[in-house]
């Protein structure tokens, strides 16, 4: 790789993995992105292709069938998928939230049962934390799990659960001891077809239309073995998972922003008005420069967060501040980049004949899910004021 390549520091095996992934996405995923958006069909085939490439387990260690690439390598890989199709990247990273939950909070037996199949794409996961009254504050959740003969009874409602209605397993977070606050939250693994697990139809979303989100109604009897790891450890597991997930949101933003920027640059070079290419006009060049600076700033923060994530894996440290900064910066920057790219396209950018319109819609949720921009600012300021 050239030294001006922002990913040049990846080790050669990971660079090769990403090169192969880039070709696969260009051949099998990007050509279907517009049709996926139009039909709102779930991205089953795209995820299957990623499974064959080793991407469904890229967040997992080799002992559980994963690719065992570094956190910076995973950042790059997720950005490649997102640049090809935002819906596919959304479903993929939701799967990572579920498998990370089992990897971090589960027992050895639970890891062996679920992660090996999840890594190949045979078993798709979902992560059920958000509720109608507990989005930004998960500790306020209402879903309850109480001990009964032979196991647990789980009752409540989860909303905006990516993959929830199509997943082979769902990691559900619920209150097991209301008197202990966040220390009274536990997690459970629900296989597909669990009696009392009812998924409504997919939500009619503004963007990411092929990465479906669902409301889940729960009234389930679960065996003792459904408890993920230890009782009362759910909140801690969820927070560690979300640290990972926020960097993966940053990766999605980087991929979509780069796609928007490249489309805008290509259009500016090709579009001729009054005998002069748009790219020769000073005002347009300034717009392109601003996009480039915003992208690079977000990239550097995301790469720093990914390096800290890797260090945390190696040494047991935390990286919550870096993850929140990366998520905030990348989601805000990507929104501005995509909007600038649409502006540069003029009226054509507002039509579905060009990908910019879809990219703008796909990006809008990035400032909301896995902790809104406002929540990230609360987290960041809390660290800085501590």
Q: What's the CATH code of the domain at 82?
A: 1.10.540.10
Q: Is the residue at 6 inside a domain?
A: no
What element of type H or E holds 220? strand 213-223
Domain-embedded: residue 51: yes
Are residue 243 and residue 227 in the same domain, yes or no? no
**Residue 262 sits in the same domain as residue 336:** yes
Contact 243, 320 (CB under 8 A): yes
Question: Tokens standing for 334?
Answer: 């990507």
- Entry pTM: 0.96
Q: Are residues 247 and 335 in the same domain?
A: yes
Span 107-166, pLDDT tens digits: 999 999 999 999 999 999 999 999 998 767 777 899 999 999 999 999 999 999 999 999
Provide the token pair at 317: 């440290």
Shared domain check, 310 and 296: yes
Q: Verify that 25 and 53 share a domain, yes or no.
A: yes
pLDDT recorded at residue 255: 98
- Please say which residue of 201, 234, 267 terminates a domain: 234
3-class SS of residue 151: strand
Query: What tokens does 316 get?
Result: 């047991």
Model confidence band, residue 376 (pLDDT cutoffs 50, 70, 90): very high
pLDDT in tens, 65-79: 998 899 999 999 999
| Res 1 pLDDT > 70 | no
Q: Is residue 216 part of a domain?
A: yes
Domain match, 208 and 81 both: no
Which helix (H) or strand (E) segment holds residue 59: the answer is none
Q: Given pLDDT bands bounded at 50, 70 and 90, which one contains residue 3?
A: very low
Helices (H) and strands (E) in the chain, counts: 11, 9
Say yes or no: 224 and 255 in one domain: no
Task: Please state the φ and ψ torsions of residue 244, each to the nearest 5 degrees.
Answer: -60, -45
Asked if residue 68 is part of any domain, the answer here is yes
| Residue at 108 is within a domain | yes
CATH number at residue 311: 1.20.140.10
Instruction: Give the domain range for residue 113.
Output: 12-123
Task: Identify whether residues 140 and 244 lie together within a single domain.
Answer: no
- Domain match, 151 and 182 both: yes
* 4 within some domain: no
Cα separation, 368 vs 370, whole angstroms? 7
Decide which of 123, 141, 156 is a domain's last residue: 123
113 contacts: CB under 8 Å, gap ≥ 6: none
Residues 157 and 275 in one domain: no
Q: What pLDDT is recorded for position 295?
A: 98
Query: Which one, of 370, 373, 2, 56, lies nearest residue 213 by Cα?
Result: 370
Which CATH number covers residue 153? 2.40.110.10
**Number of separate domains in the chain:** 3
Specify if 141 maps to a domain.
yes
Do 119 and 130 belong to one domain?
A: no
Q: Give residue 2's pLDDT.
A: 42
227 DSSP 8-state letter: B
Average pLDDT of the segment spanning 292-298: 98
- E-assigned strands of 79-175? 125-128, 144-148, 151-162, 169-175
* In contact, 326 and 304? CB cutoff 8 Å: yes
Nearest to 255 by CA among 333, 350, 328, 357: 333
Task: Give the residue from 89, 123, 157 where a domain finishes.
Answer: 123
In a domain, 7, yes or no: no
- Token pair belonging to 91: 């479903």
| 248 catalytically annotated | no
Same domain, 174 and 255: no
């Amino acid at each position: 790789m050239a030294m001006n390549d922002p990913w040049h520091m990846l080790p050669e095996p990971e660079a090769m993995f990403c090169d192969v992934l880039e070709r696969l996405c260009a051949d099998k995923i990007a050509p279907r992105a517009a049709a996926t958006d139009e039909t709102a069909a779930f991205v089953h085939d795209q995820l299957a292709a990623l499974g064959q490439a080793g991407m469904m387990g890229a967040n997992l260690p080799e002992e559980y069938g994963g690719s065992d690439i570094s956190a910076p390598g995973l950042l790059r890989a997720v950005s490649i998928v997102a640049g090809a199709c935002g819906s596919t990247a959304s479903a993929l990273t939701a799967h990572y939230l579920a498998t990370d939950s089992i990897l971090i909070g589960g027992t050895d037996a639970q890891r062996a049962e679920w992660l090996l199949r999840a890594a190949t794409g045979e078993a798709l996961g979902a992560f059920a934390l958000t509720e109608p009254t507990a989005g930004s504050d998960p500790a306020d959740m209402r879903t309850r799990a109480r001990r009964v003969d032979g196991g647990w009874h789980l009752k409540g409602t989860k909303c905006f659960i990516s993959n929830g209605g199509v997943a082979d397993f769902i990691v559900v977070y619920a209150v097991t001891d209301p008197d202990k606050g966040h220390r009274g939250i536990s997690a459970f693994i629900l296989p597909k077809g669990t009696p009392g697990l009812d998924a409504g139809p997919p939500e009619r979303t503004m963007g990411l239309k092929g990465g479906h989100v669902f409301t889940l109604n729960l009234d389930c009897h679960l065996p003792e073995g459904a408890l993920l790891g230890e009782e009362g450890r759910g909140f801690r597991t969820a927070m560690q998972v979300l640290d990972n997930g926020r960097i993966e949101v940053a990766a999605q933003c980087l991929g979509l922003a780069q796609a928007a920027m490249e489309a805008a640059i290509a259009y500016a070079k090709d579009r001729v008005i009054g005998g002069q290419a748009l790219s020769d006009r000073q005002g347009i060049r300034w717009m392109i420069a601003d996009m480039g600076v915003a992208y690079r700033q977000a990239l550097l923060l995301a790469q720093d967060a990914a390096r800290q994530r890797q260090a945390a894996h190696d040494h047991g440290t935390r990286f919550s501040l870096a993850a929140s900064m990366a998520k905030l910066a990348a989601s805000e920057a990507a929104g501005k980049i995509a909007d600038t790219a649409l502006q540069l396209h003029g009226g054509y950018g507002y039509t579905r004949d060009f990908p910019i319109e879809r990219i703008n819609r796909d990006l809008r949720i990035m400032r909301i899910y896995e902790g809104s921009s406002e929540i990230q600012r609360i987290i960041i300021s809390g660290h800085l004021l501590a």
